[in-house]
Chains A and B, each alone.
Chain A
Amino acid sequence: MITIYIDNQPHQIREGQNLLAACLSLGFDLPYFCWHPAMHSVGACRQCAVKQFKDENDQRGKIVMACMTPATEGVRISIDDPEARAFRSTVIEWLMVNHPHDCPVCDEGGECHLQDMTVMTGHNYRRFRFKKRTHVNQNLGPFVNHEMNRCIQCYRCVRFYRDYAGGLDFNVFGAHDSVYFGRQTSGILEGEFSGNLVEVCPTGVFTDKTFKKHYTRKWDLATAPSVCIHCSVGCNIIIGARYGRIRRVLNRFNSQINGYFICDRGRYGYEHILSEKRLHGSRIRENGGHKELRTNEEILRHLTPLIDGKRFIGVGSPRATLESNFALQTLVGTENFFHGVPDRDHALVERVISITKMDPTLTPSLDQVKNCDAILILGEDISETAPMLALAVRRAVMDEPRRHLAPKYQLPLWQDQALQEVTQNKPGPLFLATIGKTRLDNLATHRLSAHPEELSHFGFALAHAIDPAAPDAGETSAEMESCVKSIKEALLAARNPLLISGTGLGHAALIEAAANIARALRHQGKNAYLDFVLPHCNSMGLGLLGGRPLSHALEMVSQVDGIIILENEISRSFSSSRTNQFLGAAKTIINLDIMQTPTSDIATLSIPVASYAESEGTLVNQEGRAQRFYRVVPENPNLRESWSWLVEMMALIKNQPERLGKTPHEITTKLAQVNPIFAPLLSLVSWGSETQKIPRESHRASGRTAMTADISVHEPKPADDPGSPLAFSMEGCHGDVPGNLLPRYWSPGWNSVQSLAKFQDEVGGPLRQENPGRRLFESTGNPIKNYFAVSEKIKKNNHGRWQVVPLYHVFGSDELSAAGAAISERIPDPYIAISAKDAAQLNLLENSRIRLIADREQFERPVKIISSLPAGLVGVPMGLPGMPYVEPGTIVDLIAIPDHRDNEK
């Protein structure tokens, strides 16, 4: 700790910061624009000026930019100095020269950093009396709106999009007072992190286009802390709603996971809740037709005869909460509880769980990923399956040279521009061993493109090279040998090498090979990490609950009275023929889901349930971190949470009257009691007080007494939310609440997302009382010494047939987000991918049609030629709307279809 003097008062701070960060951490209101806690200082906007004095006798001092000045021992500054104040207010005056006076119609209004800073500096009268410059806006696609006239040229957007996130289709153009931030030409912003511009931009240039469709001021949004459900990373989000309608998603800070940013799937995926495919009414199949069931009583009346005294099997879901899965598991009994995922995924997740359990210290948080200094990605295309992990990897790789060069050049780590010069933006060690190209390729030190079997073979060989005690993979090609050698050296030269793999390729040997490498590195004394991407937001949670593979359900279905399907679309786990076989054999299907699906269409009884925004529950992310999310809107009696129906069913069954609980809180507690692995959940759900709850509505929410005045002039009683720490109210505990329960960031004078700093002890650091989720695995203290045996030999030749490899898309592969309006505009059309070599052999051009024939499945789609794909593989986009499930690794035939399109017309 060092002492600095601000307006002659001594303050203790941590060494190594700049003055702006130090002042903000100390709670001072010092305005700024270009500085960002994750992107640091460039000194462009000149807004953070303070006066610095040489010593206590220096009366004159000089103006310095706080963000560019190191806070060193004994440094003396004045924030209050009249000259510094005058200059800061003039900076606002300059920015206002061209800024339009359109706050009342600007989506940023009320949560605008420029508004806040303007008020803070006290500038209010306009002296500029000439014309403002104007710009032409661009259509940037479905995610972000562009209104360039509002730009104050702080350069944050381009620094985020290009420098931080590595995007290329966005830049700054022009010079002098006509700098322009956008694309070279109007068009869709391609990066999967573009939505962060909405929060990074301190003004209303970039705003959320989906929010615009149902816009509400920030102070009128009811908000609640939530967790993204669109991949296994488990980023934290804030969902906002008004009049019971979900309006938008913002980033929620979690120092261990997503920090300041989220991906576009997470930001815009919420729109599935508003989609036409959303189920609203229950219906039952009767006499060959459908009958709508209007009330809960009616549903219950029909439910009883369906289930009472009957034997059901249950299909759980990796996208449903622990609570709902637990309720189903309890309802049907563990031996009748099946995981609604492909058998392969089921096995892989179990494998990952057993590896993680054995040595949880291997698994990094996303924050730890950012600090790894050599990374090998084995098989998984993380840019498509776990976007924020890919961003963390990008940061790790870009920051690694900074970390070791900064001390050499005596530069602090917050000197962003200087560090770019020093490192020349050369990435640190990153090795990619995947089947084809990925969006991290341009960072890779070395990339290997090969068949899944070759990749795992390579992995085993690498583990053996690192630790000869690891099993030998046998013969390797000369090319691979040299690859093994150079990657081994890089990993051993690192302090925190990281292995990333996952379930994406559906290939168990890859996971084992990755584990062997990480363990071998630990044997060599490295603080190695091992991170696995899983298929869904709660794959880990479902796996930990236990349950049987889905194919076993296929065998059982004819012996029982029916299936209860929890938030699951069966055809995403089974081929079409198996789906039909399974569902066809079921006497009764009770389907609980958010969205209309082929399964809900044929269900005997289809009951719509609450989405994540409308429920409270727990998800376990890929690292085994359990996180709680909370409902944003009061419970809708017609859209109850799945567990609530399942508990209801328990009561209906005569021999199973025991209720698990009446609130999510009670269910979670029960789960923690009966299943020791979930015991840590108790600490997640403990909240002291039923009387002092955290209000979901802001203290400025308007219309409380008027919103329902058309129905009754009496103000309705706020909806209950028993057991929850949050209340549907404006009143309650606005002050110091645990960071993970903050429903919004707001502080007096800080209406924008920048107010987050007011909830951290040190800007950029953890929230106060953060509680960033709870890792379920406790370290056993005995690191694992043994290795997986080499499990697969390379299959060389498929004799003129092709091996299926799954391909993924950020926009499209995830079931729920794909149903959102904005995201659906970004989903590629279905296709079948083959290598350039195979295309030539089959005489196929891009977009010619091709038929894929597997044992249980065949279909026809246009061809996409991927030159980086190894020959002999056929890429099938997973989960893309319009694509059936084909098991990875299946050997299939491909037939070129003659072009009949002209004849058909």
Chain B
Amino acid sequence: MAAVITKPLTQHIRPDREPLDIKAYEYAGGYQAARKALAMSPLDVQKVVGDSGLRGRGGAGFPTGMKWSFVPMGPDAPRPKFLLANADEMEPGTFKDRLLLEGVPHLLIEGMLISAYAIQAEIAYVFLRREYYQSARVLLRAIAEAEQANYLGKNILGTPFSLELRLHQSAGRYICGEETGLINSLSGRRSTPRAKPPFPQFVGLLGKPTIVNNVESLCCIPGIMQYGPEWFKSLGLTKDAGTKLYGISGRALRTGLWELPMGTPLREILEDHAGGMQPGYTLRGLLPGGASTDFMLPEHLDTPMDFDAVQEAGSRLGTGTMILLDDHTCPVGFVHNLIQFFARESCGWCTPCREGLPWVEKILQAIETGCGESADLTVLEDHCRLLGPGYTYCPLAPGAMEPLQSALKYFKQDFVRHIEEKKCPWSQA
């Protein structure tokens, strides 16, 4: 049976995206994994997830089982413990969690139930991007159904385990998706990241042990529980386990989102699933995993899309949702657009990001509008270095620098042309 399941995330998503209600979800085998998990010990559940090799789908690829293993367990552990589903999804170009939220809300709830059980959390939140109204509607209905069916609430399915699940709609800032910014935001404070240590596993929401997982990561959990870690590992084409939602936006023939084995080669995603580039457009590069990843080039098309291989190609798998840069699009304008987003979304806590990003943004705008100076490139390169990891307080600014630094590496000539020609070579005027 397990062998035939190849799309554990999307198998129940109907073409019209109308989500299965609880009955239909149960009929399709839903909540069997939860029943199985609740019959096991929490630590055994953690072990299964650890053995599966699942790595976080929120961007950093941190092994989920290991993350959970830091949570204090046992009777002396601080209470309540929290599980937070990160559904903020504000990374430009990223729309994978939305599909799961709108298409199979019960998969997320089941995943959260199992995860909460594994770490013995009694309260869980879905932290949802403000603009995801449809997801909110779908989720609220599903939560009510799950409560009704006693998959949530007190003494779930007759076990001593209880879980309260609530939906929180974010105030709408990118930094709310960073796990500690999320925790601050949820507790009603400014969404400024926190320094680690202490890690949220020890000191999280309201000072209590807290796990933050991405929606897609949580949705992997029921499959792992039901069919076992070996099955999950076998799904991946490389040593990374499971399936992955890969997305493509930009000038591909068919933009979209596909659940494919982890490690599917980039070329296959672009050519087989997205149908290649639109006629008349040539691929110049792509951001493999959202706006805060380095460019990859056509020469990297044979890269298997998993965490390690993409890293070897000089970028990050990130969210696995790609943005294409084609030959009709100005790379400076492309990067400027992203930096404008990051500069606006800086939380304003640390100096390099708060002051550096707007400066970079202004320079890119100047270059794009023909007002660039050759010294500007030095300033940009300085920023790529000095907004790097360790220099800033959180990964927002280093992430923001990834498309810029790789653009300067791969498309330097285009920057230089802007400055020399005192105009954007792509502009019509």
Residues of A within 8 A of B (CB): 42-47, 49, 62-64, 68, 86-87, 90-91, 94-95, 97-98, 127-128, 130, 152-153, 155, 172, 174-179, 409, 411, 415, 417-418, 421-424
Contact = CB atoms under 8 A, between A and B. Distances in A.
A94 B345 contact: no
A324 B163 CA distance: 73
A86 B386 CA distance: 9
Nearest to B393: A43
Interface stretch (B117-125, B196-204, B317-325, B408-416): B196-204
Given A174-B348, A176-B348, A178-B348, A95 B198 contact: no
A62 B351 CA distance: 19
A424 B386 CA distance: 33
Interface string B334-368: 00000000011111111110111111001000100
18 contacts: A46-B352, A47-B351, A64-B390, A68-B195, A90-B352, A94-B355, A94-B356, A94-B359, A175-B173, A177-B343, A177-B354, A179-B354, A411-B197, A415-B195, A418-B194, A421-B198, A422-B198, A423-B207
Nearest to A421: B203
B6 interface: no
B391 A153 contact: no
Given A176-B345, A418-B197, A421-B194, A130 B203 contact: no
Contacts of B140: none
A837 B351 CA distance: 55
B36 interface: no
B358 A177 contact: yes
Q: Which 7 A-B pairs have the closest CB atoms?
A: A94-B355, A179-B348, A176-B346, A424-B207, A130-B362, A177-B358, A175-B348
A411 B202 CA distance: 12
Residue among B197, B349, B352 with the highest chain A CB neighbour number at 10 A: B349
Contacts of A62: 390
Nearest to B204: A421
Contacts, number: 103
Contacts of A49: 391
Contacts of B358: 97, 176-177
A44 B350 contact: yes
Contacts of A90: 352, 382, 386
A532 B198 CA distance: 40
Contacts of A98: 355
A130 to B, nearest CB: 4
Interface residues of B, number: 36
B379 to A, nearest CB: 6
B375 interface: yes
B392 A46 contact: yes
Contact of A411 (B173, B194, B198, B355): B198
Contacts of B168: none
Contacts of B354: 94, 153, 176-177, 179
B350 A46 contact: yes
Contacts of B362: 130
B14 interface: no
Contacts of A86: 386
A422 B203 contact: yes
A97 B355 CA distance: 7
Contact of A422 (B207, B350, B359, B393): B207
B40 interface: no
B23 interface: no
Interface in B389-406: 390-393
B183 to A, nearest CB: 9
Contact of B348 (A128, A177, A421): A177
B28 interface: no
A87 B206 CA distance: 35
A174 B197 CA distance: 27
Nearest to A91: B351
Given A418-B198, A421-B207, A176 B344 contact: yes
Contact of A94 (B197, B352, B390): B352
Given A94-B355, A97-B355, A128-B359, A87 B386 contact: yes
Interface string B174-215: 000000000000000010001101100011001100000000
Nearest to A133: B358
Contacts of A44: 349-351, 393
Contacts of B346: 175-177
A48 B30 CA distance: 54
A808 B375 CA distance: 63
Contacts of A176: 343-348, 354, 357-358
Contacts of A179: 348, 354
A97 B348 contact: no
Contacts of A417: 194-195
A24 B155 CA distance: 57
Given A411-B198, A418-B197, A418-B203, A63 B390 contact: yes
Contacts of A63: 390-391
Contacts of A411: 197-198
Nearest to B344: A176
B198 to A, nearest CB: 5
B392 to A, nearest CB: 7
A153 B348 contact: yes
Contacts of B366: 130
Contacts of A421: 194, 198, 203, 207
Interface string B259-300: 000000000000000000000000000000000000000000
Given A87-B386, A175-B173, A46 B351 contact: yes
A58 B91 CA distance: 36
A857 B56 CA distance: 78
Given A176-B343, A421-B207, A45 B350 contact: yes
A408 to B, nearest CB: 10
Contacts of A415: 195
Contacts of B190: 172
Given A46-B391, A97-B358, 7 more contacts: A46-B393, A62-B390, A63-B390, A64-B390, A97-B359, A178-B348, A421-B207
A47 B351 CA distance: 8
B351 A409 contact: no
B352 A175 contact: no
A19 to B, nearest CB: 14
A155 B352 CA distance: 15
Contacts of A174: 348
B266 to A, nearest CB: 32
B263 to A, nearest CB: 31
A214 to B, nearest CB: 35
A152 B392 CA distance: 16
Contacts of B357: 176-177
A176 B393 CA distance: 14
A43 B351 contact: no
Contacts of B206: 424
Contacts of B202: 409
Nearest to B191: A175
Contacts of B355: 94-95, 97-98, 177
Contacts of B392: 46
Which among A42, A44, A176 has the greatest number of chain B C-beta atoms within 10 A?
A176
A417 B350 CA distance: 14
A46 B348 CA distance: 13
Nearest to A180: B348
Nearest to A97: B355
Interface in B103-137: none
A68 B366 CA distance: 37
B328 to A, nearest CB: 29
A43 B386 contact: no
Contacts of A422: 198, 203, 207
Contacts of B350: 43-46
Contacts of A409: 198, 202-203
Contacts of A152: 351
A46 B389 CA distance: 12
A177 B347 CA distance: 8
Contacts of B345: 175-176
A269 B254 CA distance: 74
